[in-house]
Structure 1
């Protein structure tokens, strides 16, 4: 195989685990496909001359696909033009304040509440200031309705105050820190029959929910799998080649050298870590 092709597909290997940080989720793409049969034509283009697979252009995708393509595709949906377009930078995108959460659907962006235009009812997005699925700089600017467990750089979390109908910063370390059912973080916790908010585990999930859950601070995700009778922690060592991407929301791909799933991570130019190639591509949705 040509050295040029190898260089295109460098991926850093990290330790296998069923729990992984937010920045590492959904980082596989078409360039990881080694063979033509793994280069899925719905999302990828195969070049016979270089024997390489590449991502299709953003213009090839409709709204349902575009909003949930993995980050390496670098695509976003433009409501004005009704087209899937190349992502530029977070601050180029403006949404209605009521749709601020759409910033999180971009490539590592968050709402910038300091840019609210009161006359137009809009705000801009900005680069994430925290490696978390849900992040804002502070809770003070969030409306009560949009106050949904955003994490802040100072370690607080945005929690609804039902009495004052405001969004307040709270120190939240455990699910038990949520005292009422309305505040119990549904991404990471569940409300028990004992009227307490408790950390989710794979074992409490029903079959249709048995996929993943967030940490309380939304900085990591834990993957689960259904064993036929119950939901259990995902064991990467049990996954077959065609299951890696399906089971991990486009986070792990198949390493043919060791015949196991490995996490796809953006390459570090200064890293001397072992490098691998991955084989297939499946598009899945993280935010439902």
Structure 2
């Protein structure tokens, strides 16, 4: 299934995308695409519904973040070997874990706002993992049983806040609008094997990132297991798993986002995002 949330900001409703690309409303079956609604039993119940029996949403609507009420937004850094080489960093021996503020989460096509005082806002197309079944100290062999599905994440980052303001990466990762999620959550059964998905990102039509999940250093099961050794995972938590080469900081000379730019992101099987960059 391709599950989604639609409607105005803060008042999103749950839905799914049918085989014809139409949005169907799920409000009679779940109150939101969050928490317990992402557990296996509920997903199986939703999968058994004939989409044609659900109300169709006519006209254009805003897509919200594909997961609501996210408890933790966890990011894995330097997780692509070709990206680590590009930025002249050693391949990490363990996953590098940081947190993005949940207040950074936005819709897949919402504007990205350059925060006051930043001149080095950058892009990162990433594969997001949505936790379905919570747990702690999860065995790697069981880790995929805890995954509800996958989505696109744009891990927008203010490099000056991240690297020039005291060395705390979270400051450059958690600004408002710096975490677009979606357009939909593709359930694990539909997404299948995500270890070899092409992914790319363009700015104003120029392709800067053009990579694949096959160059990830740590796979999904290993990441979920590893993170659960440091913090319990709950239904609806999101883990974004790193980016391939080509972000703005790595360009020669570096290229950063400016008001008026448009980012366009794609990951095979997971859809596309498009964001306009605006000033604060």
Higher relative contact order (CA 8 A, sep 6+): 2
The reply to whether TM is greater than 0.5 is: no
Give TM-score, length-normalised by structure 2: 0.21
TM-score of the pair, normalised by structure 1? 0.20
Larger radius of gyration: 1
